[in-house]
Structure 1
Amino acid sequence: MSFKFEKLIIWQKAMDFGEEINILSVGFPKREMYNLSSQILRAADSVALNIPEGSIEQSNPEFNRFLGYSVRSLAEVVTCLYKAKRRSYIDDNTFDKLYNDAFNLMNLMISFKTKLKCQ
C-alpha cells in the first residue's frame, strides 16, 4: 500500500535532491547554521513537501497551486546555491551538478503542472 504521490517521479526526484542539499549544507561554515544552511534546507525540503500536500486535493487548480510553491522553493534553492558558490562554500563542479539537477527537476515539475492544466 502506498500514497499516490509516492509514485510521482517529481516527488521521488525532489526527495533525492533534498537529501543531496542536506549533505551539502553540512559542509557550510558553522556561522551559516541559522542563515544560509537553514534557508537552503528549508527551501529544499519545501520542494518535496508541497507535492504531496497538493496531491491530496481533488481539484487540479489546488494541485497546480502547490506545484507552484514547489517550483518557487526550487528557485530559492538555486539562489542559495549561487550564494554558497560566491562565498566559496562549494566548488564549481558541485554547483554545476546541483544546478543541473535543479534545472531538470524544475522542467519536470513545470511539464507536470502544464499537463494538469490540460486535464
Structure 2
Amino acid sequence: MPPQSHRELTVWQKAVDLACEVYRLTRQMPNEEAYRMSGQIIRCSSSIAANIAEGNARGTRRDYAHFISIARGSAAELETFLIIIRRLRLAPSDQIDDLLHQADEISRMLNALRSRLKNSGNGPSSLIPNP
C-alpha cells in the first residue's frame, strides 16, 4: 500500500536521522563555529526532510517534484559544508565520512523519487511509493 504521509517515506525517515546526526556533530565543533558553520549545516540538513514533507503535502506531482528538487539542493549544500568541515578539521573525519555517506544515499533516493514523479501520471502526490 502506498504511503499516505511523508512520515511513511523511507527517504524522509533517513533525512530526519541525518539532521539529528548533524545536530550531534555541531555539539562537538569548536564554540567559535556555533554561529558560523554550525548554523548553516543545521539549516540545510533539516531543510532536506522539511522539503520532502512539504512536497508530499502538496496536491500535484509537479509541486511535489519541485520540493524534492529543493531537498536535493539542500543535500548538496550539506555535502559541501561537510567537506569544508573535514578540510578544516573541525570534526573527526570518520564522523564526516559517515554523514557524507548518508547524504549521498538520501540524494540518490531523492533522484529516484523525482524521476518517478516526473515520469508518472497525474494524481495526488501522496500516492508515490517509497523510493
Q: Same fold (TM over 0.5)?
A: yes
The secondary structure found in structure 2 opposite 1:65 is helix
Higher relative contact order (CA 8 A, sep 6+): 2
| Number of positions where the alignment pairs a residue of Structure 1 with one of Structure 2 | 118
Please report the TM-score for the alignment, with normalisation by the length of structure 2.
Answer: 0.86
Report matched runs for 1:97-116 at 5 Å.
Answer: 97-116=98-117
Q: Indicate the RMSD between aligned Cα atoms, in angstroms.
A: 1.3
Distance in 1, Cα, partners of 2:66 & 2:43: 19
Report matched runs for 1:27-42 at 5 Å.
Answer: 27-42=28-43
Distance in 1, Cα, partners of 2:104 & 2:67: 18
Instruction: Kindly indicate whether residue 64 of structure 2 is the aligned counterpart of residue 63 of structure 1.
Output: yes
Please report the TM-score for the alignment, with normalisation by the length of structure 1.
Answer: 0.94
Q: For 1:28-81, what per-residue CA distance to the aligned partner results, in whole angstroms no more than 9, with x for missing partners?
A: 111111110000000000001111111111111100010011010011111110
Percent of aligned positions that are identical: 28
Distance in 2, Cα, partners of 1:118 & 1:76: 26
Instruction: Note the residue ranges of structure 1 that are not aligned, 5 or more in a row.
Output: none
Distance in 2, Cα, partners of 1:63 & 1:33: 33
Distance in 2, Cα, partners of 1:91 & 1:5: 32
The change in CA–CA distance for 1:3 and 1:32 in structure 2 (over 3 A counts) is farther
User: Hey, which of these two has a bigger chunk of helix by percent?
Assistant: 1
- For residue 50 of structure 1, what is the aligned residue in structure 2? 51
AA of the residue aligned to 1:108: M
Distance in 2, Cα, partners of 1:27 & 1:54: 32
- For residue 91 of structure 2, what is the aligned residue in structure 1? 90
